[in-house]
Structure 1
Amino acid sequence: MSLSDQVLAAVRAALPACEGGVSLHEPEFRGQEWAYLKDCLDTGWVSSVGAYVDRIERDLEAITGAAHAVATSNGTAALDICLRLAGVKPGDEVLVPTLTFVATANAVAYQGATPHFVDSEAATLGVDPVRLDTYLHQTARLNGDVCLNTRTGAPIRALMVMHVFGHPCDLDGLAEVAARWKLVLVEDAAEGLGSRWNGRHVGNAGLVSALSFNGNKIVTTGGGGAILTNDAELGRRAKHLTTTARVPHKWSFIHDELGWNYRMPNLNAALGCAQLERLPDMMARKAVLARRYAEAFRDVEGVRLLTPGAGAEVNHWLNALILDRPDMATRDALLEALNAAGFMARPLWTLMHRLPMHADCPRDDLPVAEALEASVINIPSSARLAEA
C-alpha cells in the first residue's frame, strides 16, 4: 500500500462510522447554549454590557487560574492589547515564531513594531528556548535593561510564544530566556484553553496572554477572545482600553486616552458560558479520539502522530500527523487523498517569513520550522468523532 492508502486506512479505522464530509473541527452545542441565548433576547441584553460578559470573565479566571480575565471581540484584538500592555512601541522588535497563525505577527505590526522571526522545536512545535538563547547571543546585546538588536539597533522588547494546536511550549525554558534578555514574555494561547505545562494552565507564565474563541476552537463564542494576566493593574488597564477608555459615569462620555472598542457582546459571552460548562466533557472525548488515532497509526511507517511531551497536558484541539521525512510533494499527496475521501485535512500555516508583508523582517535561520511546514497535516478532530 502507498503511504496515502495507509493513512486513509488508519483514519477510517479510527473513525469507522464516518465516511465523507467529515470536518476538521466543528462546534458542538449540547448544553445550555439555547437557554442562555434566549435569556439575552428575553431581557434585551444583547450588546457589549451584560451579566454573561461578567460571568465569562470569572469563569475563565476559575478555569485558567489567572487572576484577571478580560473578554474581547476576538483573539486578534486580545493580542493587540496584550502587546500594548507589554510596552511594545513603534520601532521596537518582537520575537515571534515563524510557525504560527498570521494574527501573531500581524498584532506586532499593529503596534508599529517589527516581527523578528525565530525557529521552533520539533517536539512541541513551539519556540525552541535553547536555539533562541544561542541566536540572541549572536544577534543581540543588553544595554542596561534593554535588549538591542546589534544588526538593526532596534530594541527587542518582547518574546511572544504560541501554543500550537494546544501543545504547550516549553514555558519554563522560555521564561528563563526572556528574563535573561530582559524581554517581556507574552503568550499567544489562542489554541490552548484547557492545556497545562507542568500542572499550570497556559497563559500564566507570561506577563499577559491571549485566548481565542473562534468558531473552530475547542470552546467558541462565535467570535471572541480574552486577555489573561496576573497583574491587577494590567487587568484593570486591559478592561479600560478594550472599552474605549471610557471613564465610568452614569451618563457622561469622558474618554481619558485612546481606547479600542474590543468588547465582547453579551450574546457571544452567553454562548461561551454554556460552552465552558462542557469543556471537561469535550476534552475527555477529544482525548479518547487522540488515543484512537494513536492506535490506528501505530504500525503506519513514514508518519507519526504528534503526542504530548513530558510536562505537557494538552487539550487535543487538533490532531496532527508528522511525516518522518519532510517532503512537500508527499504532504500534498496526503492532503489530496484525505480531502478527496471526505476527511477534511489541512497543512500548517504558510510560515510568516514567506508572506509578502513580513518577508523583509529580521529572522534567524529557520530549518526546523521549514521542515515542519513540509511535514505536518491536521486531521479531523471534533469531539463528536469520539462517538463515531
Structure 2
Amino acid sequence: MGVFTLPSLGSDMEAGTLVEWLVAPGDTVHRGDIVAVIETQKGAIEIECFEEGTVHALLAEVGAELPVGTPLASIVAQGELLPEPVVASVPDFPAPTLETQARQPKPVLATTPPAAVVPASPAARVRAHEMGIDLSTLKGTFPGGGIVLADVNAAAGRVRPERAKPASPMDEMRKAIAAAMSRSKQTIPHFYLSHTLDIQPALDWLDAHNQNSAPADRILLGALFVRAAVCAAEKLTVMNGHFADGAFTPCDHVNAGVAVALRGGGLVAPALINADQMTLAQTMAGMRDLVSRARAGRLRNSEMTQGTITISGLGETGAEAMAGVIFPPQVALVCLGAPQIRPWVVDGTVVPRNVVTLTLSADHRVSDGRQAAKFIAEFETRIMDPQNL
C-alpha cells in the first residue's frame, strides 16, 4: 500500500492548508488525477496524484495546515488486496458546493467566470456556506479581488485570537517571493547576457495572421517569444533542466514557465507542460489558460514544480530591458523588455524597426557565456522566422 504525501509546490513552500478533497475511499485514481486542493500563499493549487490504484483512506482533515511531506491518503495498488475502506477522522464533504463541480472535466481553455460568480477559494466557499454568509457582500483581499478564507473568517467574527490581525494574502505572497528569490541569489551564481533583436518580421507576420482570425484564434507576441525560447532550449539542453543535490539533470521535454503578474501585485510562474510538443496556436491557448487560472488562484502542483526554463516579459510597454532572478531548481531565465522603435540597418539602409532586448540569466555552475550566446542566437533565428515556430 502506497502513501500519497503533500508535495512541495515550490522552493518557498513549507506548508499548506487542505481545503478540499476531490476523492473518497474506494475511488480509483490514476497518475495525474486531481485529488485535493491545497491553499498556499500563491492561491489554491490543485494537487495531482502520482500513484495508481484505489483510495483506501484519507489521512488528513479539511481545514488542517499541513507541512510538506505530510501523508494525505493511502492508496492500494492494482493487484493488492484491498482492505475495508476507512476514513481517518475526515468529516463528510459539505453539500452541495463541493460535489458537482469537483468531478466535472476541466476545459482545455479556461474562460473568465460569469459576472454572477464571485471569485473565491474553495475554503472560503465552504466556510461561507457553513456560516450562511453571502460571498457577494464581501470584499476579497487576494490579488484581483478574490475572496479567501481569512476574509470569510473576519466577516463571521471567527478569527482566532492569535490571528486577530492576519497578514493579507498580498503580504504573504510578497514574503514567499522574497524568500525564494533571496535563496536563489544566495545559492545560484548568476551571469547575464543581453542582445537586442529585430522583431519587425515577427510583428508583420502577427498583423497578417490576426487580421483574418477570430479573436479566440489571434496570437500575441508573447506566444512567439515562448515558442522561440522553447525551440532554443530544445537545441541548447544545458539551459533546460534542474540543478539539485550538486548536479545538473537536463530534461527530456521543455516545460516552459510563463511569468504571470497577478492583479494587485505578486508573481507566479506556472509551466506549460511539454511545451516542446505544442504548436504556436496551442502555446497561445495554453498561455491564456494559465493566466486565467493563475489570476483565479487555481493552478496545479505539476505546473508549479515541473518548469524547466522560465520566460518573463514586460509586455507591450515598459522598460527596454530586465535581468531576472532564476527560479530554482531551474538554471536559466529568459527576460524580454518591451518593444522599442529604433533606427536599424537593413540591407545597408537605416530604417525604423521594432526591436526588443533579450536578457538571459544563467547558472554558471551549469553553463558559460559561449553556450548562453548560442542560446540567444538560436532564439533570434527562430523569432525571425515566425511562420515556422
TM-score of the two chains, using structure 1 as the length reference:
0.24
Q: Select the structure with the greater relative contact order (CA < 8 A; seq sep ≥ 6).
A: 1
Bigger share in helix? 1
Higher Rg:
2
- Please identify which structure carries the higher strand content: 2
